[in-house]
Each structure stands twice: as C-alpha cells, then as structure tokens.
Amino acid sequence: MTVFDGYRLPDELVALRAEVRRFVRDEIIPVEQRIDPDAAELPEADHRRLAAKTKAAGLWCLGAPEEYGGGGLGTFAMCVLLEEMSQHRMGLYNPGCGVFGRNPPPVIWGGTTDQIERYAVPALREGYHTFFAITEPSGGSDPAGAIQSRGEKRGDHWVLNGTKMFISHAHEAEWGVVFVRTDRAKGREGISCFIIERGTPGFTARPIRTIRTVAIPNEVVLEDCTVPAENLVGQEGRGLSLCLDLLTRLRFPYSACNLGVAAAAHRMAIAHAKQRSTFGVPLSQRQAIQWMLADAEVELRAARWLIWDGAWKADRGEDARVEASIAKVYSSEVLGRVIDGAVQIHGGYGVAKEFPLERWYREARVRRIGEGPSEVHRMVIARALLR
C-alpha cells in the first residue's frame, strides 16, 4: 500500500477508514449505550460477537505483521484508522473496545522466533491484553536513571526483584515485559527486558485507583520472581534501546487516539450548538461559541498533520523520535482543550453521565502524563533543536 501520496490518502485506505467508522457507529456505540457508562470492557458475549465480525471482515489486528496473522499496515495507516476506532465512549481507555484486536505486543519487534510464536502470536490471535512495565515509584520519565528493579543471573534462570508503578493491564494480562537493571555499573547499557507470565511465583499486581473510574494501572511487585533465561528479550544490557524504540512506535497511535476522541467531542459540540438556543437565538449564532468551534477545528487539523507527518517518516525508516514527541505533546494538549470547550458548550449536559464528555474530560487529563509527560517531550524537542 502506498503510504502517502502528496495530500491524498490511497483509495483503499479511505475505504478501510469508512468501514471502521461504520463499524464503530453501528456496532460498538449501541452496545456502549446500554451498559455502565464507566465500563472498562464490553460484555463478554458482545465482545466475542463483534470480534467475530471484525475477523470475518478482515479488520482484525490490522497493525500486526501479515506473517503473524495481522493486516500488515504501517504506522501511518494505523494512525488514520485509530482516529476512527477511538471515537466512542471507551475510546481513550480501550480504542475499539478490543474488537479490532490489540496493539501488537512488544515481543513482535524485539523477540526471538520462539518468543514470537509462544507469546506474541497467541496474543494477536486471541486479542488478550499484555503489559509493558518500565515506570517505577522513583519515576518513569528517566528510565536510565529511575530503574532500580534488578535482575540477577543464576544458572539458567534470572531472578527479578523490584517494584513497578502505573502498569496498565498487569492484573489481567496473560503475560508482559518488564525492564530491570542487570548491571549497576553500566548505566544505560545495564538494563534488560524480560517476559513474565501471569501466575509466575513472586509476581503480584495490585490495581491502583486513579482519576479514571476504571482501575487500569497497577503496582507490580517482583519478589524473587524467577524466569527462564530464554525469556530475555533481545540482548542483555540492551533493554533501554529496545524500550525507547517501542515507545516511539507507540506514541503515534497514542496520539491518533487523542485526535479521534477530540474530533468526536468537537462533532458533538457543533451538533449541540446548532440545536440548543438561548434567549431565542441558537448557540451557533453566538460569536463566543463560533470562535470556540473555530479554534478547535484549527487545532484538530494541525494535530492531524503533525501525526501523519511523523508516522509517514517512521514508515520510511527514518528517525522520528522528535516527531513522536511533537505529536504526543500537541495531541494530548489539544484533546484537553477541545473536550473542555465541548463540555462548556453543552453546559450541564456536558457533565452528565448520559453523554461521554464527562468521562473523556477525566481521562483526557491522564493523556498528558501517559507515554511520557509533556514536559519531558518538550525536553526531547528542545535537545534536538539545540544539539
């Protein structure tokens, strides 16, 4: 598939985007409307039914490599589609409610053939959660300096000890990867990555309550947690490079989901402004409202092009770390501003559980922290400018 042709998306990507949009509108949103507005997942029967439909329609795991049962789409195409997949109530927490499959697990990009077959392929096929554990109580924005969890080689096993914080899905995932320090003397070159399966002795995960209603992040404790030597992902001591590469891959899709929910909130604000009147005049005729809508449109278009430009560069194999930081900072901050404006335009309805805006409003605040806080990304951008 041609990734980018001037300012025109390929016809097949346009058609795929339309199909994803229709599926979210006609299949996912109606189910969300009849369940708890703070639900974390669809009811199991509905999830199975809708996942079967996406598989039959060729919409399952579109971002995974074709050789492992995925659609083989690149970062750019997935950003276009994720903007649509996220436009529903659970969109910031669980884009597409998992019925399009999950993000390709990190082992796909750095694991051995055996690790991919044992762990990644079943995760893709079944669509279950995995976890990615790097953040620690001392901080997550500086992994080279903050990682205190340690791993010690003992014969044909590694013994891991330490604590991780705010790890999504660790309490429910079948397996995940953790980053620990295996050589204290080597700094950035002393961090390694390991696969840990659920139920491994010495591994515990405790959900943490946050501003979100759903308790998705966890405290993960490793107490003499023993894993086989073959669970080392990549080379010993090269875990940080693997981590940073994976984070760059994830930040464009993360930004696309920010954009999608912001676009949905903007669309709701426009519709409400046309329908709602005050003192006999539609809100849409009030200049204050018009300017709020106009500013949101400007920011959404700018965010879309920043995401697309960076994703296009990543697909070409170029270094897109700065572009990933720019996209993440801008999309997460635009998300907050656009939703805030939509809530204001809706008035009391904006904070009513009947509408998704109040949930998006709370969850949008998390997006300026997740995948690296805005301040750290600004440091990355500034460092590149001043290098």
Q: Is the pLDDT of residue 4 over 80?
A: no
> Mean of the pLDDT values across residues 261-265?
98
Per-residue confidence (pLDDT) for residue 215, from 0 to 100: 66
Question: pLDDT > 90: what percent of the chain?
Answer: 80
Q: Is the pLDDT of residue 111 over 70?
A: yes
Q: Is the pLDDT of residue 188 over 60?
A: yes
Structure tokens at 288: 């204050």
pLDDT confidence of 383, banded at 50, 70, 90? very high
Looking only at the bridges linking them, the beta strands covering 130-133 and 175-181 are: parallel
Of 165, 52, 90, 84, give the one whose Cα is nearest residue 360. 90
Average pLDDT, rounded, for the chain: 93
Q: Is the pLDDT of residue 152 over 50?
A: yes
Q: Is the pLDDT of residue 2 over 60?
A: no
Q: Is the pLDDT of residue 192 over 80?
A: yes
Quote the CA–CA distance of 92 and 335 in Å, as a whole number.
10
> Mean of the pLDDT values across residues 117-124?
93
Per-residue confidence (pLDDT) for residue 216, from 0 to 100: 76
Per-residue confidence (pLDDT) for residue 140, from 0 to 100: 63
Of 118, 116, 244, give the one whose Cα is nearest residue 191. 244
**Has 83 been annotated as catalytic?**
no
Per-residue confidence (pLDDT) for residue 248, from 0 to 100: 86
Location of structure tokens 């092009």: 305
Domain ranges of the chain: 11-126, 130-233, 241-386
Ramachandran assignment for 23, one of left (phi > 0), alpha (psi -120 to 50 degrees), beta (any other): alpha
Q: pTM for this structure?
A: 0.93
Q: Which helix (H) or strand (E) holds 337?
A: helix 321-346
Per-residue confidence (pLDDT) for residue 106, from 0 to 100: 83
Tell me the per-residue pLDDT of 329-377, one tens digit each, with 9 for 90 and over: 999 999 999 999 999 999 999 999 999 999 999 999 999 998 889 999 9
Q: Is the pLDDT of residue 1 over 60?
A: no
Q: Is the pLDDT of residue 127 over 60?
A: yes
Question: pLDDT > 70: what percent of the chain?
Answer: 96
Structure tokens at 32: 């969300």
Q: What's the CATH code, domain 241-386?
A: 1.20.140.10
Lowest-pLDDT range of 149-153, 239-243, 300-304, 333-337: 239-243
CATH superfamily of 11-126: Acyl-CoA dehydrogenase/oxidase, N-terminal domain (1.10.540.10)
Select which of 84, 299, 323, 371 is catalytic.
371
Name the CATH topology of 130-233: Butyryl-CoA Dehydrogenase, subunit A; domain 2 (2.40.110)
Beta strands in the chain (DSSP E): 130-133, 150-154, 157-164, 175-181, 191-197, 203-207, 218-228, 232-233, 277-278, 281-282
Of 198, 182, 179, give the one whose Cα is nearest residue 134. 179
Per-residue confidence (pLDDT) for residue 138, from 0 to 100: 81
